[in-house]
Structure 1
């Protein structure tokens, strides 16, 4: 999975720029935390007008109904202080009795299911990218020790062989780059860390850094001089809160944390994502080649790393108005956790089964904040997508964070068959927007006049993370649940809508941005209040 989020501090950005932690200015923090709830009509900020939507519903005397939202992701901390009250509960299942009480095939699935865990309780954390899995399979067919068999297979499977050659070249290049970065970052980090330490020794490790202090500082060493110059360059910039008001010791601690995250990032690529010798699927214990197999996994909906999924869940439906943490968009959302996305690429079989599980167990909206460049079995995912659409379920998918035109470069799963026909008319693909009207598309967000349907806030998004904590993250992974949350809110007030009508309402009611017209089918950013108004009018016209 090309997770669509970024985390790392200003300090570590001196040596590592792939992942970035969003600055959190102390004076503006509360406002920043809730910016995506703002109203474009009132405040000229492309938020989703959450509070205005609830005010409108109250004024109209509308009653809200619960809507189950399936979150296919890395897992959710279901007992999080700001999520527990809104987790979906399978009332027909008795918790932890080891019995499939509701006879749906899944034992003790009280809050959802985990398709990347084993019956023995173990869980997949890291996995390969699909690219690596394709090359591993191709090596067996086309690069074995038997040259005759290799040549026979090359002639027998020409398209597969062409894909293999492309994938192998890409894998070799990516692995080499990741290995160089992994080995080089420690050296760079050591040099930068020495600079911070020298600066702290000379400036005062526990002395608060101020503009006056930096301008009057007389460094004795080249290392301290470099860091002081770097700090001075942030005056009157968005990076200033990352420096001023903190001590050198605090900045050094943040730097070390960021470096560890950077090392972990590249380590995952080298050891897991691009490693042909690594394959954790035996943990799951399924018959992997049997794409029709449905019953496998376990009921651990959190898994070993639920940061991504927990953040997504909070955006959709963290408990509102409880004076804890933050407010989700949909007060009526019931969050169903379906764990199918590892640190690596999700597998087509698991995604297809996750979609079907969500549909069969009552989800009306399915959020999918994941994507990948290769898909060996897209037809299985398409079948599940069509199944969801036929059962009146809205499918919300993140566009991806490669700053690419996905009309040209595919980000699976996609909503088009090979012949160009639409798979699921209830599918909606979401790009990420910002709070800056003159720079409205998030720089990382994918786009596409055909593939991207709508945009939603995806930069500087504050939400729940494991251990009852909260954090700013950014990505189309955050934008998709904004749309899922708005969809749940609207559907809660107007359950008479079909999923296809709801999709149309979300798009027709969005706030137009001319800058997004060439980057998506509609050029709009989702708006909850306007969606309620359009839904109300649509249903009135049907009567």
Structure 2
């Protein structure tokens, strides 16, 4: 290609070449372009260099090159032929930014998976299973004191040990979230590198489910309390199970669990019903649990349309993701078809983990200090950056289907991280009544939290400020130092006070 300083210079060169050189083709790069594309079988680079050096008005010239497709595809053999789902949600484009694994701060990202069973020795999964550093394998002792014996790679709630029940359903979920990518074997997950914490025999009864959530929660609680020195950086849970025609009033403890997990910074993702029902009307759990830390997913197919036999609800079901016709792991050696909302859900769970690994989003700057706000911002980024689909309009909250690439881009562009503001406290030290004053940026309604010196929450309530002020009765608090946090309108404020 040759760039000229004017159209006249380009035309003059073109006329000379047409006259003097047969077999040479010249093509303008645009209607008003001063750039010519020169091709010729018998024209080599050295000869063209000589021609250009003897021509007037030349600014620059260069070879023509093929561009790289700036999407990153794994070398796993089934990816090109079987994994349409990952292409639909723009996996290759997102993988150009990150393939998962660790946060920019170096914390290993962990996803808790609650299901009936898992084939944990599948070669595409085993390396991506979380290993509990507090447990010594096969010694028959609960080394870390969490109530379970030898839970090295997750736990079986049914027998209280690390020996998992085996089932293809949970194995399929693991494969979608985090089958090892780019290892020249089988498939790739949403995350090529991630650590998955499997919890088997946890979907028989609701009490088993609660035990599973509590087990996962404890890892993140320890992580937060220790500043990342112990526990695990669990960012999400996956539940591809539920109860049809059931409501939060039937299972309040189950629904409350999502707020509890969210307080520690965990986003929870659940499958809606595998029936063509409006769950807002008919009921479904977890679909109708009203928690800001729960994302509910329905099923889309290879045509990028909602599957008819999948639940919906403009209030309760957040978005769609690929399900029917997908491919995942099945046993320790087999791979095959996986579908339903059970398959759709781990695509979104995997998205949560992938976003935490993305560099330069701003998320890494506050998930340690403000885990709860970080979880809220991740959910917002996923829901605000879907691809709109006609079949999901009016039957889901977003009207769209998951897009990994837009999720990451959107988080960077929209800066979902909350702004930091100072809050005033007086009197300080205080004996009975503490007044806090905040800027107008918090809005009138805010979440107030007070923590003691051990990091335990002693007060948590929604407050309504009057003229930016609010009075708190701390007369019943024990003497000592406390941290106070105010959250509202995507703004976070912190302060410290001493109770006399």
- TM (normalized to structure 1)? 0.55
Query: Are positions 1:88 and 2:130 aligned together?
Result: yes
DSSP-derived class of the 2:327 partner = strand
User: Residue by residue, what CA displacement relative to the aligned partner does 1:303-355 show, whole Å, maximum 9, x if unpaired?
Assistant: 1x41000010000000000011100111232111111356xxx3111111111
Query: Are positions 1:425 and 2:292 aligned together?
Result: yes
Match of 1:351 in 2: 209
The correspondence of residues 31-430 of structure 1 with structure 2, limited to 5 A, is: 31-38=80-87, 47-57=88-98, 63=104, 66-117=108-159, 297-301=160-164, 303=165, 305-341=166-202, 346-362=204-220, 363-373=234-244, 378-416=251-289, 422=290, 424-430=291-297
Query: Are positions 1:534 and 2:410 aligned together?
Result: yes
DSSP-derived class of the 1:449 partner = coil
1:471 is matched with which residue: 323, 328, 336?
A: 336
Give the unaligned 5+ runs of structure 2.
1-76, 221-233, 368-373, 420-500
In the alignment of these two chains, the number of paired residues is: 313
DSSP-derived class of the 1:483 partner = helix
Q: Distance in 1 between matches of 2:346 and 2:327?
A: 12
Bigger proportion of residues as helix = 1
Q: Distance in 2 between matches of 1:374 and 1:425?
A: 21
Q: Distance in 1 between matches of 2:155 and 2:375?
A: 24
Q: Kindly state the Cα deviation for residue 299 of structure 1 after the two structures are TM-superposed.
A: 2.3
Equivalent pair of 1:77/1:466 in contact (CA under 8 Å): yes
Q: Distance in 1 between matches of 2:346 and 2:219?
A: 20
User: Residue by residue, what CA displacement relative to the aligned partner does 1:242-297 show, whole Å, maximum 9, x if unpaired?
Assistant: xxxxxxxxxxxxxxxxxxxxxxxxxxxxxxxxxxxxxxxxxxxxxxxxxxxxxxx3
Q: Distance in 2 between matches of 1:310 and 1:364?
A: 20
Q: Distance in 1 between matches of 2:253 and 2:347?
A: 27
User: Residue by residue, what CA displacement relative to the aligned partner does 1:176-223 show, whole Å, maximum 9, x if unpaired?
Assistant: xxxxxxxxxxxxxxxxxxxxxxxxxxxxxxxxxxxxxxxxxxxxxxxx
Q: Distance in 2 between matches of 1:526 and 1:354?
A: 27
**Pair 1:361–1:541, CA change in 2 (3 A):** closer
Q: Distance in 1 between matches of 2:136 and 2:97?
A: 39
**Pair 1:314–1:541, CA change in 2 (3 A):** closer
Match of 1:449 in 2: 314
Q: Distance in 2 between matches of 1:94 and 1:82?
A: 24
Q: Distance in 2 between matches of 1:541 and 1:114?
A: 36
User: Residue by residue, what CA displacement relative to the aligned partner does 1:4-33 show, whole Å, maximum 9, x if unpaired?
Assistant: xxxxxxxxxxxxxxxxxxxxxxxx976441
Q: Distance in 1 between matches of 2:176 and 2:326?
A: 8
DSSP-derived class of the 1:429 partner = strand
DSSP-derived class of the 2:214 partner = helix
Q: Distance in 2 between matches of 1:427 and 1:442?
A: 22
Q: Distance in 2 between matches of 1:459 and 1:66?
A: 31
Higher relative contact order (CA 8 A, sep 6+): 1
Q: Distance in 2 between matches of 1:30 and 1:324?
A: 10
Match of 2:382 in 1: 506
**Pair 1:366–1:509, CA change in 2 (3 A):** same
Match of 2:326 in 1: 461
Match of 2:21 in 1: none
Q: Kindly state the Cα deviation for residue 89 of structure 1 after the two structures are TM-superposed.
A: 0.7
Q: Kindly state the Cα deviation for residue 57 of structure 1 after the two structures are TM-superposed.
A: 4.5
Structure with the greater alpha carbon radius of gyration:
2
Bigger proportion of residues as strand = 2
- TM (normalized to structure 2)? 0.59
